Amino acid sequence: MTNSETHWHETVLFLELDEEEPTQVKIADKVIALCKVADAVFAIDDICTHEHAFLSDGIIADGCVECPLHQALFDVKTGKALTPPALTDLKTYSTRIENGRVWVAI
């Protein structure tokens, strides 16, 4: 087994997710924000790339998460930084919903 292999991790129930607020989950040494948009869930790094702030303390609107510290916007599907002061994109992770639970690939 190498470090580059992907492993799926079971997290929260899909029904527990809120479409307006990200949910923080910890998987191994990573802190991930789960963002529910309609019937899908997206997983992104939970730390803003501009300054150390948890995006899970922000809000989700129109497929974007807003950082609670300086209001930078990130696309939850792609991790792309959309507005300053954030200039660096977020890492994204694959997700799947199985038996009502959200799984994240790390």
Q: What is the dihedral of CA 43, 67, 56, 15, to 10 degrees?
A: -70
Other CB atoms within 10 A of residue 29 CB: 6
Q: Please give the average per-residue pLDDT across 35-59, as a whole number.
A: 97
Q: Please give the average per-residue pLDDT across 25-32, as a whole number.
A: 96
* Residue 3 scores a pLDDT above 60: no
Q: 31 - beta bridge partners?
A: 26
Cis peptide before 22 (omega within 30 of 0): no
* Residue 2 scores a pLDDT above 50: no
How much is the pLDDT for 6?
A: 87
DSSP state of 81: B
